[in-house]
Structures are given as structure tokens and as C-alpha cells.
């Protein structure tokens, strides 16, 4: 474990207990709090609605909606996930995007060499897209 050269100065116990975490990860504490508050908002409103909304159970109300007729079979029926190949391509390009962002921040400093490397990277992926088009996997049947 690496210890910082200058440990943060927490002179009193009180400060140590009540201090909002700051620094790099401190920002993410705020984000975490907002996530908790968001979930609380959703379920809080639902509980609030519980106080005022009617509750008149009847057997037919709880059947699956299928435009007024009785549902045929189960809702979890077989479906053709047609965009399976699209999803594979998506993963490829999304990973590219992950590499693209850190590169975007520094490539001006690194200059032409970094730029040419990214051109080659994008060209390879663009070639993959071209291949997919040629193979007609991007046709929605």
C-alpha cells in the first residue's frame, strides 16, 4: 500500500467525522447520494400514492393485457432477436469509443504520430463495417 507523502490534516475528531469527502473520489460521493435520493424519490412517491389511490381487487384486472381478448400462450414467448449481429458490431464500436475518449484529450500534445495511429484504428473498424454491409448482415429481414 502506498502512503501519501503528506497525510491530510484532520486536527479534531469532529472534522474527521463530519467532513464531506473531497478530492477525486469525493465528487463521486455526491453522485452516490443522488442515486440513493433518486431511488427514494421513486418509492417515496409510490408510497404516497398508496395513501390516496383506490384498491378494488377483481380477478380479471390482473390478467395480461392483449387488446381485450384472453391472452394466448404466455408473454414470455419465443421472439426472433433480429439485431443479434447489430449488437456484435455495437460492442466493437463502443469499445472503440472507450479508447477514443482518453485519446481525444491528449492527442494534440502527442501530435501527428498519435493521429495516424487513430486513423489506422478507425480504418480497421470502418473496414469491418464495410465488410458487414457487403455480407448483407445489416439488412433487416
Q: Which residues bind another protein (CB under 8 A)?
A: 18-20, 22, 27, 30-31, 33-35, 37-39, 41-43, 45-46, 48-50, 52-56, 61-67, 71, 74-77, 79, 81-83, 86-87, 89-90, 93-94, 97, 100-101, 104-108, 111-112, 115, 118-119, 122, 125-126, 129, 133, 138-140
The single-letter DSSP state of residue 64 is P
Shortest Å, Cβ 4 to another protein: 19
- Rounded to 5 degrees, what are φ and ψ at 48? -60, -45
Residue 62 grid cell: 390482473
Shortest Å, Cβ 1 to another protein: 24
Q: What Cα–Cα distance (Å) separates residue 130 from each residue in 29, 94, 113, 134, 138?
A: 44, 17, 26, 6, 10
The nearer residue to another protein, 1 or 105, going by C-beta atoms, is 105
Amino acid at each position: 500500500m502506498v502512503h501519501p507523502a503528506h497525510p491530510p490534516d484532520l486536527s479534531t475528531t469532529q472534522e474527521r467525522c463530519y467532513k464531506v469527502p473531497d478530492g477525486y473520489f469525493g465528487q463521486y460521493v455526491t453522485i452516490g447520494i443522488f442515486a440513493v435520493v433518486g431511488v427514494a424519490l421513486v418509492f417515496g412517491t409510490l408510497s404516497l400514492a398508496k395513501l390516496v389511490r383506490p384498491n378494488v381487487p377483481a380477478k380479471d384486472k390482473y390478467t395480461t393485457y392483449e387488446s381485450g381478448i384472453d391472452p394466448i400462450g404466455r408473454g414470455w414467448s419465443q421472439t426472433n432477436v433480429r439485431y443479434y449481429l447489430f449488437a456484435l458490431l455495437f460492442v466493437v464500436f463502443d469499445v472503440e469509443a472507450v479508447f477514443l475518449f482518453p485519446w481525444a484529450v491528449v492527442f494534440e500534445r502527442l501530435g501527428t504520430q498519435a493521429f495516424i495511429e487513430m486513423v489506422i484504428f478507425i480504418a480497421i473498424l470502418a473496414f469491418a463495417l464495410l465488410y458487414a454491409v457487403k455480407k448483407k448482415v445489416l439488412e433487416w429481414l
